[in-house]
Amino acid sequence: MRIGNTYLHHGLILAPMAGYTDRGMRMVAAECGAEYAVTEMVSAKAVVFGDKKTYTLARIMPDECPTALQIFGSEPDIMAKGANMLLEDAEKHGYMMPAAIDINMGCPVNKIFKNGEGSALMRDPELIYSIVRSVAVAVDIPVTVKLRRGIDAEHINAVECALAAQEGGAMAVAVHGRTRSQLYGGASDPNIIKAVKDALKIPVIANGDITDKKSAATLLEKTGADGIMVGRAAVGNPFIFKEIIAALEGKIYTPPTLDEKKHMAICQLRLSVSDRGEAVAIPEARKQIASYFKGFYGSAQLRAKINSMTKLDEVERAILEIKN
């Protein structure tokens, strides 16, 4: 699969997740085989109006795998200007240039939806076309889109929205098989992803209900998608990418040992702290670190302990105390 000049051998992508896919998570996912990642979503309007904190979310470091920068908003001119400003900032500070600008058209969160952003854009395919076109003209890197099955069961229009994005200049589309009203519950529908794949000429990436190698292979088979995007299943388990690669290559997968999980959790935590500092990174990382050790003796105590910890060395010691 190819997105612009970026070639993905297996088409394995780490999905964008607000509060999760910081540099730490992106780096450990890449170490485990993710070929491409997408940042947390960034408000184009906040960028245009000078919110300096927003730029932090958009930083992609030179040692990362190809990573798309995801933006959200609802005004074509603001989206275009914000995207351009973020690219100028990356060039100015020597960050890695994004592999693409990804436009969020799938976020189901009420605050975003009520503001006419995220999945709310799927109510208006013409607006989707305008936003994609405006951004594509403003930047000299690929533009991609992530959307959902539709707003709700009565409004399943992913094909129409994806076609609008393609016509506007998108070079790939990722489709989550749930509607906005489902949020993250219920079942993801692979049939809508297949319908989008059948309708488009550009690459289509399948997203939703990937939990292991079997579900990944099944989704690829049912949809014919060019790649797959793994989200929540990679939280505390970046090893899922190794598992999927082993299946695709017909190899035996050996699950990580407890020591390997400890090592990866500490690596992720250190990367996040080096990027954002302890005060920001540790509170955000708590839920991810705890996820690494579900089912292990002392995992519940670890979660309770780290919820009150604020220092890197404290959390590291707590991680090392986990036992089989």
pLDDT band of 94, cuts 50, 70, 90: very high
pLDDT band of 157, cuts 50, 70, 90: very high
pLDDT of residue 296: 82
Integer Cα distance of 23 and 25 in angstroms: 6
Choosing from 65, 107, 161, 267, the catalytic residue is 107
pLDDT of residue 303: 83
Convert the pLDDT of each residue in 33-53 to its tens digit.
Answer: 999 999 999 999 999 999 988
Residue 169 has pLDDT above 80, yes or no: yes
Tell me if 70 sits within 8 A of 107, measured CB to CB.
no
Convert the pLDDT of each residue in 61-80 to its tens digit.
Answer: 999 999 999 999 999 999 99
Mean predicted lDDT score pLDDT of the chain = 95
pLDDT of residue 53: 85
Residue 199 has pLDDT above 90, yes or no: yes
Instruction: Give me the residue spans of the domains in the chain.
Output: 2-248, 258-320
Residue 298 has pLDDT above 80, yes or no: no
Residue 107 designated active-site: yes
pLDDT of residue 300: 79
pLDDT (average), residues 178-194: 94
> Which residue has 């609802």 as its token pair?
74
Convert the pLDDT of each residue in 211-257 to its tens digit.
Answer: 999 999 999 999 999 999 999 999 999 999 999 999 999 999 999 99
Which CATH code, of 3.30.1360.120, 3.30.300.30, 3.20.20.70, 3.30.1490.190, is assigned to 2-248? 3.20.20.70
